[in-house]
Structure 1
Amino acid sequence: MTYEEFLDEVTTLLTELYDMADEAAIKLVMEAQAADHFVTHDDLPELRTFAQAKQEAIALYDARRNKQQTQQKQQQRLHQQRVQKKR
């Protein structure tokens, strides 16, 4: 498949596997692309398979979820620090 078809497949899988809105899935793939996540896929056609697209969709979703969890934990710590300072 072409590079564009591969990115479309990753996007489609994000919506199907994780019930993401189309806009959110597109944004996630575009951000990954901007961060050069897919450079090797562009260079190596053998990486543009349906199986690889599924692996990439899972990896992108997991990375997004981990980032969100980290941000939540950081905000909780900041909140706790502020509460302790007020005491």
Structure 2
Amino acid sequence: MTYEEFLDEVTTLLYEMYELDDAAAIKLVMDAQANDYFVKHDDLEEMRTPEQARIDAKALYKAKQDRNQTQKKQQQRVQQQRKRKPAAQ
């Protein structure tokens, strides 16, 4: 499959497997592409398979979940620190 077809396949799998809306799935793939996640896929045709698309869709979704979890924890820490600090008078 071509590089563009491969990216479309990853996007479709994100939509189907994780029920992301089209815009969210496209953004996830575009962000990964901007971060050079798919460089090897572009260079090596043998990496552009349906099986690899499924692996990549899972990896991208997991990374997104991990980022969201980290952000949530950081926000909770900031809120806890604000609660502990006495208000300046």
3-state SS in 2 of match to 1:36: coil
Which residue matches 2:64?
64
**Any runs of at least 4 consecutive aligned residues in structure 1 with deviations exceeding 6 A, and if so which?**
none
Q: Matches of residues 44-59 of structure 1 in structure 2 within 5 Å?
A: 44-59=44-59
1:7-57 CA-partner distances (Å, limit 9, x unpaired): 000000000000000000000000000000000000000000000000000
| Separation (CA, whole Å) in 2 of partners of 1:61 and 1:21 | 13
Which ranges in structure 2 are unaligned for 5 or more consecutive residues?
Answer: none
| Separation (CA, whole Å) in 2 of partners of 1:22 and 1:7 | 13
Which ranges in structure 1 are unaligned for 5 or more consecutive residues?
Answer: none
The one-letter amino acid of 2:38's match is: F
**Larger-Rg structure:** 2
Identical positions, percent: 64
Tell me how far 1:86 sits from its aligned partner: 2.5
Q: CA RMSD in A?
A: 0.8
TM-score, normalised relative to structure 1: 0.98
Q: Matches of residues 1-87 of structure 1 in structure 2 within 5 Å?
A: 1-86=1-86
Q: What is the number of equivalent residue pairs in this alignment? A: 87
More helix by share: 1
